[in-house]
Amino acid sequence: MFVTPAYAQAIPSPVDPLGGLLVPMLLMLLIFYFFLIRPQSQRAKQHRDRMNAVRRGDTVITSGGMVGRVLKVSDTSDEIEVELADNLKVRIIKSTLMDVRSKGEPVKDAS
């Protein structure tokens, strides 16, 4: 009397794995590529080009924070000779340079 007959329920359809998960993952990969990976690789390429274009007379900043003037650049090796102060010359590897300022470039303001 109080018992009702049980009816078979419809089987839920499975989620499409290609459309349900693949599209958002590809979208996230594209976003990461265009906002993070691509700009970082472009900045690294520009930095590498500037370090390879260093020439005598340029002002350089090392990764240790020292500022000096380039005295000698060797085409055969990765070293440059930098004058940090009067009568203080050091040899520095180009890959440790943080910034290169040309002779005529003004000092950047901190503000």
pTM, entire model:
0.62
Sole residue written with tokens 């958002």: 24
Residue 71 backbone dihedrals phi, psi, to 5 degrees = -100, -40
Whole-angstrom distance, CA of residue 14 vs CA of residue 33 = 31
Radius of gyration for the chain, computed over Cα atoms and rounded to the nearest angstrom: 30
**Per-residue tens of pLDDT for the chain, all 111 residues:** 566 666 666 666 666 656 677 888 899 999 999 999 999 999 999 988 988 889 899 999 999 999 999 999 988 888 999 999 999 999 999 889 998 887 756 656 655
- Structural domains in the chain plus CATH codes: 53-101 (2.30.30)
